[in-house]
Structure 1
């Protein structure tokens, strides 16, 4: 299959899938994810996870998080930084601890393996959540701000825990210098990102806007998006985190509204649909029956661990139970960080191929379920808000 045919099939099927999802009142992302599963190796085998799909999906998730930053509200994020950090910490402790205890005490894994499996469940991917929040106009609600802030903190915590885990698995042990080398670049990234966002980004956009060329502002925004993403990767952070901070920096400038209208068509016309399809393409049901009980229990822990841990963190800062459940549901989705942790565990021989496959299946299925849970709680909250207004009137 040529790359042109591949793109033709993906773009055609994702729009049909999104349409059918909306017809049945599901988030559109569900249809796009199911396209990957049904058309991919798991069912029909029409599509496969090729290099084209990989690179387009990488660009897709980067642009998606860049758009989330563009539509963000820095003041609101700063306002809710304390609950965001609390939510992230509880959202790591509860699923990681629960999964580790399950694996060690019920299935007889070593504590080393159990902790790595637990760490896979600790990693939140907010890219799916962003899509649902955008569709339901909740991006700049306080729940949305807490989810995005907690996702940033969650990413940092997971990177640090992964580094610590690798150090303990390795033969050299963990030293203070090693930990400083691990954590130092992450802290430095935030300092550099803040300084660039405050001083460099506005001037860069001003200069580019005066060039005698077409689409100057749009090109400048894309340059900043990829530049921040590359900076994040070079300092041991996720590329989507860098893209998000680039968007957030631009959101504080006068170019925000104009660039939002320009960037969204680029992302949603091609790259973002490929990203959602790629998640479905990664799933395979081969050998799943051998670990079905293990997989089901991990899925339950993956969902309830984030829902309960993050929900309680939000509730502790004055949100209603409905709003707290939105925060919990918004943190359920797993993604690239979970896949990275699983791959590290496999390469370190901490888990075997069968259990690696099981973790991938848990990650993908959890990601499929998460938008449904999030939409359910948002709709319930909206009904409560309407009811409360009617009571007042």
Structure 2
């Protein structure tokens, strides 16, 4: 989620992909296309096999997609590897396959870099589509109704793990202050994409708990952007740029409120335009234009593309075209969303979990501590919901647990700036892995599908 805004900026300035693309010949482009197609074959096979196995075991299919990504990624078969995950062209089986079957003449490393970037961008588009779909499934009135609860859950879910992690690392492990703050910041994130997908699969997205989780996760994402800006500034200069922090806060609030208010004025015109069109995609294409436009605006003001996509979904959910649009966006999501989940998992190297490697042991000890803080800090946030209704507070807390790719971005920036030691970097990665994979089965356990509940009630 945070990944595209960071990696894309760096790729424009220092990534070798840009000059490579500028000098690529037509035959080179054919090899690139071949690599992308093979990568997509691997992704879809991993996605469908993993999801099917989990579905038959009565577990969330998204967990199967994540596990499928682990199997084909850097942790196992090296079919789908990425530079940021520690892979290169020499250990990419896809590149080796291309060389063997096509007589690849261009430098394999160049094809590998370009192929990796294309697949990563497709993954980021996938999460944009996912959040647009989640926005369409959400009810703005219900989100506003649970807004105060979501705000409390988000604030506690950020503060508790941040202070608990930072202070624990400083006083229990003797970690210097700046690296400890960076690691504590990595504990604050929530991967809205993973949680939202599980809630949708369990048919809990529009129930009160689901709306609180989604609202809190959106706020977590905004807070995560602000925290990331703070710790990145701290890592580079040793001090926090207050003006940048204030700008991010103001722009996030202004964007969310402004987009929703202006969207309500825009809705009648959107419906009128759609009704006047006579070509294929008369509903889907204008909706995607609107979603991508808000995503671009969010990115342009240093927020997140997914924030814009989610807001666009919320706005269009209030139109009379909502149900028809939901039906049309599902096939698009089925194509692109699995790419996101498989790629996130494929980039994760679980080799850092090996206790038999001496240099991993210190990181594992710190990782155990971070995992406990990561889980407890978010679970506590669920119990801050106080109301008269019967609410599954434990489920709310568990829904905030997964860190996903957001946590990996914190670790990646800390590692590249030299702030994090090898063991602390490994500990953060382990924390991200386990919280990401624990959340779907735990959510499935603490939540029951609405129809299951109704059946039990009838009995």
Q: TM-score, normalised by structure 1?
A: 0.91
1:211 equivalenced with 2:277 (yes/no): yes
Match of 1:297 among 369, 385, 392: 369
1:317 aligned residue: 387
- Structural mapping, 1:110-129, within 5 Å: 110-129=176-195
Give the secondary structure class of the aligned counterpart of 1:42.
coil
Distance 2:81 2:389 in 1: 43
Contact kept, 8 Å, 1:83 with 1:317, in 2: the verdict is: no
The answer to which of 149-158 and 201-210 deviates more is 201-210
Distance 2:236 2:79 in 1: 41
The answer to which of 181-190 and 144-153 deviates more is 181-190
Match of 2:174 among 105, 108, 115: 108
Distance 2:366 2:389 in 1: 34
1:246 aligned residue: 312
1:15 aligned residue: 48
Partner deviation per Cα, 1:28-78 (whole Å, 9 max, x = no partner): 011111111011110111222322321121011111111010011011001
Match of 1:331 among 393, 400, 404: 400
Structure 2, unpaired ranges of 5+: 1-33, 83-115
The answer to which of 232-241 and 82-91 deviates more is 232-241
Match of 2:378 among 306, 328, 331: 306
Match of 1:64 among 124, 130, 135: 130
1:42 equivalenced with 2:75 (yes/no): yes
2:144 aligned residue: 78
Match of 1:30 among 63, 72, 79: 63
Aligned in 2, Cα 1:103/1:320: closer, same or farther, shift over 3 Å? Answer: farther
Partner deviation per Cα, 1:108-141 (whole Å, 9 max, x = no partner): 1112211211111111111111111111111110
Aligned in 2, Cα 1:158/1:4: closer, same or farther, shift over 3 Å? Answer: closer
- Structural mapping, 1:1-393, within 5 Å: 2-49=35-82, 50-171=116-237, 173-174=239-240, 177-268=243-334, 270-288=335-353, 289=355, 290=360, 291-308=363-380, 310-314=381-385, 316-318=386-388, 320=390, 323-379=392-448, 389=457
Partner deviation per Cα, 1:231-277 (whole Å, 9 max, x = no partner): 11112222111111100100000110000000011111x21111110
Aligned in 2, Cα 1:380/1:182: closer, same or farther, shift over 3 Å? Answer: closer
Cα offset, 1:319, TM superposition:
5.2
Distance 2:57 2:405 in 1: 28
Aligned in 2, Cα 1:343/1:48: closer, same or farther, shift over 3 Å? Answer: closer
Distance 1:211 1:386 in 2: 45
Bigger Rg over Cα = 2
The answer to which of 52-61 and 187-196 deviates more is 187-196
Q: TM-score, normalised by structure 2?
A: 0.78
Contact kept, 8 Å, 1:279 with 1:364, in 2: the verdict is: no
Aligned in 2, Cα 1:385/1:329: closer, same or farther, shift over 3 Å? Answer: farther
Cα offset, 1:354, TM superposition:
4.3
Partner deviation per Cα, 1:295-320 (whole Å, 9 max, x = no partner): 23222221222112x22122x23454
The answer to which of 22-31 and 280-289 deviates more is 280-289
Aligned in 2, Cα 1:7/1:311: closer, same or farther, shift over 3 Å? Answer: same
Choose between structure 1 and 2 for higher RCO, CA contacts under 8 A separated by at least 6 residues.
Answer: 1
Distance 1:285 1:28 in 2: 21
Partner deviation per Cα, 1:83-113 (whole Å, 9 max, x = no partner): 1100001111111122112211222111221
Distance 1:122 1:262 in 2: 35
Superposition RMSD on alpha carbons, in Å? 2.3
Distance 1:36 1:361 in 2: 16
Aligned in 2, Cα 1:12/1:171: closer, same or farther, shift over 3 Å? Answer: closer
Contact kept, 8 Å, 1:202 with 1:250, in 2: the verdict is: no
Distance 1:9 1:161 in 2: 35
Give the secondary structure class of the aligned counterpart of 1:365.
helix
